[in-house]
Structure 1
Amino acid sequence: MRYKISPMVLAVVVAGTMAACGSARLPKFPESGVFRECDPREEVTAQRLQASELLSLTAPSVQLGEIYVKKPCEDEDSIGMIGRPGWSNGAEEAVSAYYEERLPSAGWRLAGQHSSGPVQAGQSGFDISRRCFENPGEPGVTLEVSFTYGVGGNVPRGVEQKPDFFLEFRFNREGVSCD
């Protein structure tokens, strides 16, 4: 006698077996903090950007924190981030104008602006206002001046008080842009 198994029953049995054996688990953050092997070109780019004088360009009323470095191989989205957190004391327009005025003389042009809009009372989440700069001499690298407000957002390791401002290079081996 031959038995006929419905596809639905087969799927449930296979999924249950995989879960029991550990095959259906979601990937975990690697303990090493590295998602893939670091590309030597990304290492060179990271070192060059970390040494950039632009990370010391400080707008009046801004207090900058220490430089943080996250290489593309250490990020689940493969985006390298090298920057400084800061505290703007609510002076977003003046701080943005400062960078928009000074970055072009270093070869960086404003290539995009974005604002997610304010967080409504009682909602969790955060508002991001971002100005993105590109430099033809640094293809595939962006320099962002961004402000975050509300609950949530990323806080670099070692920073105790949540910053509201970031000056940050972004890059990876494929190249990033302001689009």
Structure 2
Amino acid sequence: MSVASPLFVRVALPALLAANMLLWRSQDVEARPASTGTFVEAGVGATIYVGATSSYSGVGPTATVRIGRDLFSWLSVGGYLGASIHEATVPPPPQGEYYQLYRGGGDARLGGRFDRIALFVEGGAGLAMISTNVLGKVMVTEPGERFSLLVHGGAGAEYQIENRHYAFGLAVDGWLAAQFDGATAVESRLYLRYTY
């Protein structure tokens, strides 16, 4: 008999049996209803400009925070803050310049739940602020212009884990910053949601 056989019997076999029992148990347990009420979401992802502005801005990392309240199981309202960092790909000089775009506003989300999966559409409005005038060289921003009205809309899906207060989600939004020469972008993010 080899040395591997006793190791298999003592370690691997009990681990396989425990994993099998957990899988068997999870198939018999129904998903608990998702929590509703006040919630917080935190997400990370990427923002890519589309249209004319895409020639002057690289893809950038994005971070967002959303706080809100579920009014019904199918409707929530909230406020959001987001920031993204982009390389300005304008003709030199300057070269190697970066800028930040800060966003904040309010939104509403309509959705439905199918067992552990929820699907939703969302939309809202707010303000955007650009950190520098580096895009003024290509007329995306006017001299001294730092703020823009912002509208956004999108859709997503989230998965409720066994603890009914937590869910993981994926959302994709498109937004338009009217005063920044109609700059449009697509933002995708993975997020964690906690409902109190």
* TM-score, shorter chain, exceeding 0.5: no
Structure number with the higher helix fraction is 1
TM superposition score normalised by structure 1? 0.28
TM superposition score normalised by structure 2? 0.26
Structure number with the higher strand fraction is 2
Quick check: which has more Rg, 1 or 2? 2
